[in-house]
Amino acid sequence: MNMKARTNAISWSFIAIAVIMICAFYFYPMIQALIMSFQSGTGTNLSFVGIDNYTRLFTDTTFKTTLSNTFLYLVIQVPLMIVLALFISVLLNDKNLKLKGFFRTAIFLPAVTSLVAYSVIFKYLFGTDGLINTMLMKLSLIAAPIQWITDPFWAKITIIIAITWRWTGYNMIFYLSALQNIDDSIYEAARIDGANSFTQFFKITVPLLKPIILFTSITSTIGTLQLFDEVMNITKGGPGNSTMTLSQYIYNLSFKYTPDFGYAATVSYAIVILIVIFSILQFKLAGDKNG
């Protein structure tokens, strides 16, 4: 074997290992889940039911509730988080700001904390006798404790606050990195032409950050559609399924209710379809020709 052939063989051997691992741990489970979505039962006692699981989605009230809850989190939390992350990144990109490193670390820190740990902390903070209610009552902003965990409306607000607190700093890092790659001469030329900070933000910053905004919007949408940990640890989907998400419903179908792995796989593919739809919509709204 000559040197070129040997190099190619070694190169393909390294690639083959990665391809095999990806196929074994990503594509094979995806295909098996798709096949399982046309079956019903548990373990090895699965029977083919055709599209019955998919038609069941349209009459399943719990699925409709979890879909509504997930969509609510999506339309409120994702835009809120994107706007906050963009606003904070612009502030922290100011060259005259002192202690920038401290503020950047402090805001990003929630993104690297344990999901379970911070969810438990939020559960206690927003409890009936928690710190939030105590502070609000001492400031005379409320007369009685807010039922952050047990009231359907306030429970949703608690979940939105929790995931916004955790993931805003994560998205901020992307915007901050992109802002530091924008040439200062562009802003200088805009100032010479009389553009104020407001105009510079909407006419220069936002258009130049469009690819990053699209990326963070899509990844945030995917993350929200797969939301599980916060709901599971803070409200457990309650009260009365009012905060349950699609991912938690999949968990309950598999391990909490009478196990039905086939229908659980069907709900998981409903999430896949939603992700594809929302991703395409975001590409189209952003005017991306590759979308």
Domains of the chain: 59-285 (1.10.3720.10)
Collapse the DSSP code of 48 into the 3-class scheme (helix H, G, I; strand E, B; otherwise coil) and give the result: strand
CA distance 32 to 54: 16
Does residue 271 contact residue 226 with C-beta atoms inside 8 Å? yes
- Which residues have a Cβ under 8 Å from the Cβ of 213 and sit 6 or more positions away? 82, 86, 175, 206, 286
pLDDT of residue 289: 58
Q: Residue 289 — φ and ψ, nearest 5°?
A: -70, -20
Cα-only R_g, the chain? 24
Q: Which two tokens stand for residue 148?
A: 């952050």
Residue 68 or 289, more confident: 68
pLDDT digits 0-9 by tens, 190-213 = 888 888 888 888 899 999 999 999
Does residue 38 contact residue 51 with C-beta atoms inside 8 Å? yes
Asked if the model's pLDDT at residue 98 lies above 70, the reply is yes
Sorting pLDDT into bands at 50, 70 and 90, what band is 1? low
pLDDT digits 0-9 by tens, 129-149 = 999 999 999 999 988 999 999
Mean pLDDT computed over 251-276: 91
Please name the residue that has the structure tokens 């402090």.
106
pLDDT of residue 99: 86
Asked if the model's pLDDT at residue 288 lies above 80, the reply is no
